[in-house]
Structure 1
Amino acid sequence: MIRRLSLLLLLLCSTSATSQTLMILGDSLSAGYQMPIEQAWASLLSQQLSEKGKNVTVINASISGDTSGNGLARLPGLLTKHHPDVVLVELGANDGLRGFPPTLITNNLRQIVQQIQSSDAKAIVMQIRMPPNYGKRYTTMFYEVFAKVAQQEKVPLIPFYLEQIITKPEWIMPDGLHPRPEAQSWIAHYMANELLPYL
């Protein structure tokens, strides 16, 4: 009986030791824009990671419309509340759509990453790209922000999932920016593969 209890305790401890909390700090691209939250890719991500052998609790702290400045303001409270092991930063699209200066976006993202690291969590940054109608000069400068932040802060940079589905009209809403519910399971699978090496 004692041996059985000891074995059970060992199994529980080992499961607990390998479990992680992943927080997604993002905007409408992660919040499940115009759909029930349970359909959003972030809500499907935990199951995808579980199928790949990772025990990860996913906290979706994304809010539609958030800029990098909004995320920076919300971050201290989120870190205190959730104590994540890993934070995926998916912010910047709304900054770009509003024409914010790339230097402002860079500074905000760097502060976000630094706060995450100060909390002993691992930061991962997602690359974001602007539609071409914003002009080549601005879209190029905007695109370079994310690699610059990742390089300066020495954190992983993962690809922008939207680039993989933007050419599929059946997966994109009429606004040309947001994925439909039909695309969410594919996004969750794609994101699980991208995040796996860092979990």
Structure 2
Amino acid sequence: MFRRLSFLVLILVLNPAYSKTLMVFGDSLSAGYQMPIAKAWPSLLPADLKSKGQTVTVVNASISGDTTGNGLARLPNLLEQHQPDYVLIELGANDGLRGFPPGLVQNNLTQIIRLIRESGANPLLMQIHVLPNYGKRYTEAFSAVYPSVSQSLDIPLLPFFLEGVIIKPEWMMEDGLHPKPEAQAWISNFVAEQLINHL
């Protein structure tokens, strides 16, 4: 019996079809703002990852309007419910839009990452940049939070996908903040390329 169980475990470990679970933990940039959820980039991500040799089940746990504080509050239930292998953290844009102190954002991200690790999952952090509404000093301090957290907690830092979208006005909604459905396939492929070496 023990040998049979060991054999089954070995098959799951070695079988490339074994599906890992990735939870995308973000805000409106990942939640499919003003579009059907099936068109949002996290819904397209499994196919892009599969084309690159990774079988991954993607859970989109993103909510429009979420801040790092909101995310921190709802994370424990999400981890218990979905039990992901990986969590991609895409949070902070709403903190920046509201002018929240960078130190608060850094503290929230740090706690989020620790909760993810305590659950047995692997955290991945996405860089977030904000519009210069509050001046250059705030913008630079905010952007610096992400590499600081990445280095201090030794987790991968993925580049911000919006930087490749915002340069194409036809891909952006009229609010200048959110990508259109037409941009979602590009975002999915971009994120897949960044993730592939970390899964």
1:130-149 to structure 2, matched below 5 A, reads 130-149=130-149
Which consecutive residues of structure 1, in runs of 5 or more, have no partner in the other structure?
Answer: 1-8
Whether 2:120 is the aligned partner of 1:120: answer yes
Q: Is there any run of 5+ residues in structure 2 with no aligned partner, and where?
A: 1-7
Structure 1 counterpart of 2:48, one-letter code:
Q
**Counterpart residue number, 1:110:** 110
Contact 2:16 2:54 in 1 (8 A): no
Q: Which residue of 1 aligns with 2:72?
A: 72
* 1:101-135 CA-partner distances (Å, limit 9, x unpaired): 01100000000000001111100000000112331
Matched to 1:63, the amino acid is I
Aligned with 2:197: secondary structure? helix
User: What one-letter code is carried by the residue in structure 2 that aligns with 1:177?
Assistant: L
Kindly report which structure 2 residues correspond to 1:8-157, keeping only aligned pairs within 5 A, or say none: 13=12, 14-15=14-15, 18-157=18-157
Alignment correspondent of 2:164: 164
Instruction: Letter of the 1:19 partner, please give it.
Output: S
- Deviation track 1:123-161 (CA, whole Å, cap 9, x = no partner) reads 000000011233101000000011111111110000000
Q: Distance in 2 between matches of 1:114 and 1:66?
A: 19
SS of alignment partner, residue 175 of structure 2: coil
SS in 2 for 1:21: strand
SS at match of 1:18: coil
CA contact (8 A) 2:31 2:37 kept: yes
C-alpha distance in 2 between matches for 1:106 and 1:10 = 39
Q: Structure 1 CA distance, aligned partners of 2:48 and 2:134?
A: 35
**TM-score, normalising length: structure 2:** 0.92
Counterpart AA for 2:75: L
CA separation of 1:123 and 1:11: change in aligned 2, threshold 3 A: closer
Moved over 2 A (4+): 9-18
RMSD: 1.6
Describe the shift of the 1:80–1:10 C-alpha distance in structure 2 as closer, same or farther (beyond 3 A).
Answer: closer
Alignment partners' CA distance in 2, 1:31 and 1:16 = 29
The 2-side partners of 1:55 and 1:92 are apart by 28
